[in-house]
Amino acid sequence: MASLRSFLQCNFDILRKTFVILFVNVRDALNQAMDEELERDERVFLLGEEVAQYDGAYKVSRGLWKKYGDKRIIDTPITEMGFAGIAVGAAFAGLRPICEFMTWNFSMQAIDQVINSAAKTYYMSAGFQTVPIVFRGPNGSSAGVAAQHSQCFAAWYGHCPGLKVVSPWNSEDARGLLKAAIRDDNPVVFLENEMMYGVPFELSEEMMHKDFVIPIGKAKVERQGTHITLVSHSRCVGFCLDAAAVLAKEGVECEVVNLRTIRPLDVDTIEASVMKTGNLVTVEGGWPQYGVGAEICARIMEGPAFNYLDAPAVRVTGVDIPMPYAKILEDHSVPQIKDIIFSVKKVLNM
């Protein structure tokens, strides 16, 4: 990591002059964000399984232990409930922990500490006790990891007041939102995606600045459109953009909204878009029942945007089953680009 950084630094001037954009993959964006925040604030530290000497199960924390040592990058035993509780207690006492779950599936072992000890404490103490903690890790489906390792937790954590829940899509999101999350004085659930770790994206000079943060709670319109709004988060944002490219050839212009934050939900941005286009399809990897899409549709029903709908709002989601293993089954368990295109055409009555 250090060598990549120095490579980037050395070549910055040349690149700047020739306006070449840097390509950084999501993993490196997360890594750089943590590195910069560790450097900026002594109270920030990282704990989790294999985060230190192994460089991270998914290499997201590569190089950090070498740079910061045992005190700030801590390998834990395989005891989620215990180390999540320890992380929350450290936050109570003034530190700013980053608690990594190797995947969010394992957070279920520790969910009581996330909800009852972290999320609710500021409220129960009437503002006396803050909990400046970030819980992060890969969320949702991966490739061939089967049912127990593929669940999306956006809806579960998004349900709870007191938490902020963030779901980045690309490197800009990953970098800006993780820095914002670490600087936030509240408990943040940071949902990454393993399939996105290796995907490179352009990062501008402004985005590479060490104080670049993206506000939590603000969605981004990734693509302007006029006929229909596609609202999504995490990896599915990419699918929406791919679907939009295909649909554009048939004259359908999709507006793609990247939620970036699950909680607090940026209803204003979604409403403004729906009031412009008159049609809505939500896209998510998680299960349909009581999910993120369900919440968005309910909010649209209850708000001013309902009167602008030309057709009922519809959700594209993961299939309502535990994730199977065989490739053909797995491929048919998650929303595909063709599902998004199909749904858009149905909604637009094409």
Partner 1 sequence: MPYLNISHFWGVVVSSRSYADFTPEKVDLHRLEEGPPLTSTLTREDGLKYYRTMQTIRRMELKADQLYKQKIIRGFCHLYDGQEACAVGIEGGITLSDHLITAYRAHGYTLTRGGTVREIMAELTGRREGIAKGKGGSMHMYTKNFYGGNGIVGAQVPLGAGVALACKYLGTDQLCVSLYGDGAANQGQIFETYNMASLWKLPIIFICENNQYGMGTSVERASASTEYYKRGDFIPGLRVDGMDVLCVREATKFAADHCRSGKGPILMELQTYRYHGHSMSDPGVSYRTREEIQEVRSKSDPISMLKDRMLSNNMASVEELKEIDIEVRKEIEDAAQFATTDPEPPLDDLCSHIYANEKSFEVRGATPWTKLTSHS
Nearest approach in angstroms of CB 23 to partner 1 is: 34
**Distinct helix (H) and strand (E) counts, the chain:** 14, 14
Structure tokens that stand for 9 in this block = 């630094």
Q: Assess whether 80 carries a catalytic annotation.
A: yes
Contact 163, 261 (CB under 8 A): no
Q: What is the arrangement of strands in the sheet containing 254-258, beginning at the earlier edge strand?
A: 220-223, 254-258, 228-232, 280-283, 314-316
Nearest to 165 by CA among 317, 291, 273, 35: 291
Q: Which is nearer to partner 1, 30 or 313 (CB)?
A: 313
C-alpha 226/C-alpha 267 separation (Å) is 18
Nearest approach in angstroms of CB 220 to partner 1 is: 19
Q: Among 80, 222, 271, 284, which one carries the catalytic annotation?
A: 80
Binding site for partner 1 (CB under 8 A): 45, 71, 74, 76-77, 79, 81-95, 97, 112-113, 116-117, 121-130, 132, 161-162, 164, 185-186, 264, 302-303
C-alpha 238/C-alpha 256 separation (Å) is 10
Nearest approach in angstroms of CB 126 to partner 1 is: 4
Contact 291, 265 (CB under 8 A): no
Contact 56, 73 (CB under 8 A): no
Nearest approach in angstroms of CB 60 to partner 1 is: 22
Using DSSP's 3-state secondary structure scheme, residue 155 falls into helix
Q: Which is nearer to partner 1, 99 or 254 (CB)?
A: 99
C-alpha 332/C-alpha 207 separation (Å) is 36
Q: Which is nearer to partner 1, 107 or 113 (CB)?
A: 113
Q: Among 50, 149, 159, 253, which one carries the catalytic annotation?
A: 149
Q: Which is nearer to partner 1, 33 or 84 (CB)?
A: 84
Nearest approach in angstroms of CB 282 to partner 1 is: 19
Q: Which is nearer to partner 1, 84 or 254 (CB)?
A: 84
Q: Assess whether 233 carries a catalytic annotation.
A: no
C-alpha 143/C-alpha 54 separation (Å) is 22
Regarding beta strands 254-258 and 220-223, do their DSSP bridges make them parallel or antiparallel, or are they unpaired?
A: antiparallel
Contact 286, 140 (CB under 8 A): yes
C-alpha 185/C-alpha 180 separation (Å) is 10
Structure tokens that stand for 57 in this block = 């199960």
Q: Which is nearer to partner 1, 96 or 175 (CB)?
A: 96
Nearest approach in angstroms of CB 261 to partner 1 is: 13
Nearest approach in angstroms of CB 110 to partner 1 is: 9
Q: Which is nearer to partner 1, 6 or 129 (CB)?
A: 129
C-alpha 298/C-alpha 313 separation (Å) is 9
Active site residues: 80, 149
